[in-house]
Amino acid sequence: MFTQADNWEKCGDQRYIFQRCYGLMSRNMIKAIADRRFADGPWVERLMQDFASYYFEALELYENHDPRTPAVWRQVHIAAQEKSLHVVQHLLLGVNAHINYDLPLALYDGLQREWASMTETDRQIRKADHETVNQIIGETIDSVQDIVIEPRSPFMALVDRLMGRVDEWLLSKLITAWRADVWHITMDLLSADSPAQQEAIRQSREKKVLETGEELAFVQMMQ
């Protein structure tokens, strides 16, 4: 991830912003698993790998001009060509696609084989591990601010000095809220009566994520 981010940054490809942040988060997740911060580390590790595969498969499809590229990722890659966007917009566009669209699909993949046979206690353990990731995100945002955002935005560096961790806290709260919604969407997918209903849920989710992406791309931010 970091090698690709470095290569993209050298050639002016704004996709390095999300890629580097994703690398920082992945590194912290691997450490958290090793530190036994999750109730079921092996399950979290499998989910992390499945989740990443959605991103890398979409990237490969886009790079090969494949029409099967998910619309949410096509939106992100096209927006990356827009030099006027703020670094935070580039970051959130990627986060929006990966968390709000990819994650419920990856969670469904990881839960659908076992969910019906699980006790309520076991289900709550899965949910608790999902929520523990929010803590890792919060711990990672400081590094994202220092390593990725502030070098591109002197204004954000000023905000960081004046407001302490408030700006990081706001970003963490936004992502945490998104991830809470993701759990509800996953439950909808698991309780769907048919593949047709699941597809309707997916399409509705895709539409919402694309709308969020449009809002993120058009908002005016101070540099």
Helix locations, 12-119, DSSP H: 16-34, 41-63, 71-79, 87-95, 103-111
Using CB atoms within 10 A of its CB, is residue 132 exposed (0-12), middle (13-18) or buried (19+)?
middle
- CB distance 73 to 206 below 8 Å: no
Number of domains into which the chain is organized? 1
Q: Is residue 115 part of a domain?
A: yes
Count CB neighbours of 184 within 10 A: 9
Q: Is residue 52 part of a domain?
A: yes
Q: Is residue 172 part of a domain?
A: yes
Of 103, 107, 116, 120, which Cα lies nearest the Cα of 178? 103
The pTM assigned to this predicted structure is 0.89
Residues 113-141: tens digit of each pLDDT: 999 999 999 999 999 999 999 999 988 98
Residue 138 structural domain: 2-218
Residues 66-102: tens digit of each pLDDT: 999 999 999 999 999 988 888 889 999 999 999 999 9
